[in-house]
């Protein structure tokens, strides 16, 4: 799969796991101006809670298959389970790496990426090393992203870089996007959802402007209403992410 083609739609949203997320998904589909089948392929159904149980992950995958979402996003420990649950469908398994702080060693992130890919992940959502970015270590940040991008692309996967926009200045957001593009990432993503901040229309607009049309933008965290989701889609103007060939 590798980097996205120029004509590929490249904005994706990540649902905050609610008590009844399937009803939220239906609400968005009913109220959005986007066709429901196209909208479904913009959504990553997500459960990254530390107390998530096997039964909850099975349910997550069942919902994703039912609505034909782009991916399920899970912690590394549940990648194998999720892979068995979505087998035979178009739903990808995405795993988070360096989550949620991004402050682990680059070598650890690479090992973690290798392991989740072996266990069936086809998308990797890595957390940027925020301290390194803020310290001005541009070469380090780019090299870390590039290392994971190359490893993921070897397995025909996609790499998303989580910026944690709520902790960055506007200039830092721009720099993070620029380095992600140079490093060969497939997506930039707003947030982990763990630090209180989430996706905003302004941030998604800024990220899209910096990365251009060929890199995906994933709005993540705090998207709880149909109007929120619609606003993110309208900003991107290009609404679905390529999850499978």
Give the separation between CA 83 and CA 79, rounded to whole angstroms.
6
Mean pLDDT of the chain: 84
Per-residue confidence band for 18, with pLDDT thresholds at 50, 70 and 90: very low
Whether the CB-CB separation of 102 and 123 falls below 8 Å is answered with: no
Give the separation between CA 33 and CA 200, rounded to whole angstroms.
20
Q: What is the pLDDT of residues 81-137, one digit of tens each?
A: 999 999 999 999 999 999 999 999 999 999 999 999 999 999 999 999 999 999 999
Q: Residue 151 corresponds to which tokens in the numbers above?
A: 């490893």
Question: Which one has a higher pLDDT value, 201 or 65?
Answer: 65
Q: Which pLDDT score, from 0 to 100, does residue 39 have?
A: 75
Examine the residue annotation and report whether 228 is marked as an active-site residue of this protein: no
Examine the residue annotation and report whether 218 is marked as an active-site residue of this protein: yes
Q: Which pLDDT score, from 0 to 100, does residue 208 have?
A: 92
Q: What is the CATH number of domain 11-236?
A: 3.20.20.70
Per-residue confidence band for 28, with pLDDT thresholds at 50, 70 and 90: low
Per-residue confidence band for 197, with pLDDT thresholds at 50, 70 and 90: confident
CA dihedral 18, 19, 22, 23 (to 10 degrees): -100
Residue 158's closest CA among 215, 111, 211, 108? 215
| Structural domain spans, the chain | 11-236
Whether the CB-CB separation of 122 and 103 falls below 8 Å is answered with: no
Examine the residue annotation and report whether 125 is marked as an active-site residue of this protein: yes
Mean pLDDT of 183-196: 92
Per-residue confidence band for 232, with pLDDT thresholds at 50, 70 and 90: confident
- For residue 157, pLDDT beyond 70: yes
Where is average pLDDT lowest: 52-66, 108-122, 158-172, 183-197?
Answer: 183-197
Q: Which of 125, 186, 203, 228 is catalytic?
A: 125
Q: How many CA atoms lie within 13 A of 192 on its CB side?
A: 21
Q: What is the pLDDT of residues 174-184, one digit of tens each?
A: 999 999 999 99
Q: Which of 9, 109, 189, 203 is catalytic?
A: 189
Beta bridge partners of 126: 97, 161
Tell if the pTM clears 0.95, that is, is over it. no
Per-residue confidence band for 238, with pLDDT thresholds at 50, 70 and 90: very low
């Amino acid at each position: 799969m590798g980097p996205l083609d120029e004509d590929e739609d490249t904005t994706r949203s990540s649902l905050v796991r609610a008590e009844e997320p399937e009803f939220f998904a239906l609400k968005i589909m009913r109220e959005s101006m986007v066709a429901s089948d196209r909208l479904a392929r913009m959504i990553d159904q997500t459960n990254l809670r530390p107390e998530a149980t096997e039964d909850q992950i099975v349910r997550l995958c069942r919902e994703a298959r039912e609505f034909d979402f782009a991916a399920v996003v899970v912690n590394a420990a549940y990648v194998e389970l999720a892979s068995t649950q979505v087998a035979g469908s178009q739903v990808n398994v995405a795993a988070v790496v360096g989550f949620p702080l991004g402050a682990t060693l680059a070598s650890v992130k690479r090992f973690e990426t290798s392991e989740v890919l072996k266990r069936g992940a086809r998308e990797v959502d890595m957390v940027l090393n925020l301290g390194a970015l803020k310290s001005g270590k541009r070469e380090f940040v780019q090299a870390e992203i590039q290392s994971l991008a190359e490893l993921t692309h070897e397995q025909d996967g996609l790499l998303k870089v989580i910026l944690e926009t709520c902790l960055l200045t506007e200039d830092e957001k721009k720099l993070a996007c620029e380095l992600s593009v140079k490093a060969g990432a497939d997506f930039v993503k707003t947030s982990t959802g763990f630090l209180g901040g989430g996706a905003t229309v302004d941030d998604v607009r800024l990220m899209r402007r910096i990365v251009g049309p060929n890199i995906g933008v994933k709005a993540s965290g705090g998207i709880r209403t149909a109007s929120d989701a619609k606003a993110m889609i309208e900003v991107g103007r290009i609404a679905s992410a390529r999850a499978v060939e």
